[in-house]
Amino acid sequence: MTNHVIDTNVLIVASGEHADSPFLSSDHPVENPELADIVLQWLSMFIDSNKLLVVDTNGAIYKEYCNKLSDQNYGRRAYIDKHDKGQIYYVDLAWDDMDPDWTAKLSEELKAIVHDRSDRKMVAACINANSENHQTTIVNACDTDWIGWEEGLQGAGVIVEQLIDEWVRAKWAEKQLN
């Protein structure tokens, strides 16, 4: 069974598509409602599954979720539901002492690849869960950075599942032209 570190953008897109969530479709960058619905359906299936949500023991990943979403947002409810069912796997992370913003320590090679400091905690959580024999992936919806880091992350044993792969790769390619 594969467990998941879920990038906050997945929770935001799903929240924008859920009928009972105060987020709107216009609150996220996935313009195509059919593609955004893929993200919502994936999160719904994840919530109903026995798969574990992987987060850090210090709560930095959860804090990021809370900074972006309220308790009423469907994406945040996903965390709460997993917590209530005992389906969260906690991993310890080492933190960069020089960065007060909860930047997880990574190898020098990975730090050079993963330039977004807030995403380093997700990479570190995935690596640590995998090292503890919990097959884990990172799940992404619309953050194009994960495409650029893909090869280097795979070399470190980190797999990123792209929920709307074709869309995010097209957006990444557009950014490369600018």
pLDDT at 1 over 80: no
The amino acid sitting at 6 is I
Asked whether the beta carbons of 57 and 94 are under 8 A apart, the reply is no
| Cα gap 26→15, rounded to integer Å | 11
pLDDT in tens, 60-81: 999 999 998 988 899 999 999 9
Using CB atoms within 10 Å of the CB of residue 48, give its burial: 0 to 12 exposed, 13 to 18 middle, 19+ buried.
exposed
- CA distance between the termini of the chain: 40
Return all residues near 82 (Cβ < 8 A) that are at least 6 apart.
47, 52, 53, 88
d(CA 53, CA 115): 24
- Smallest Cα–Cα separation from 123: which of 13, 82, 109? 109
Q: Is 153 exposed, middle or buried (0-12, 13-18, 19+ CB in 10 A)?
A: buried
pLDDT digits (tens, 9 = 90+) for 130-178: 999 999 999 999 999 999 999 999 999 999 999 999 999 999 999 999 7
Residue 128 has pLDDT above 80, yes or no: yes
Report pLDDT for 47: 97
- Residue 102, pLDDT > 90, answer no
The reported pTM is: 0.94
Residues whose CB falls within 8 Å of the CB of residue 43, separated by 6 or more in sequence, listed in order: 6, 10, 11, 14, 74, 75, 78
Please state, rounded to an integer, the average pLDDT across all residues of the chain: 92
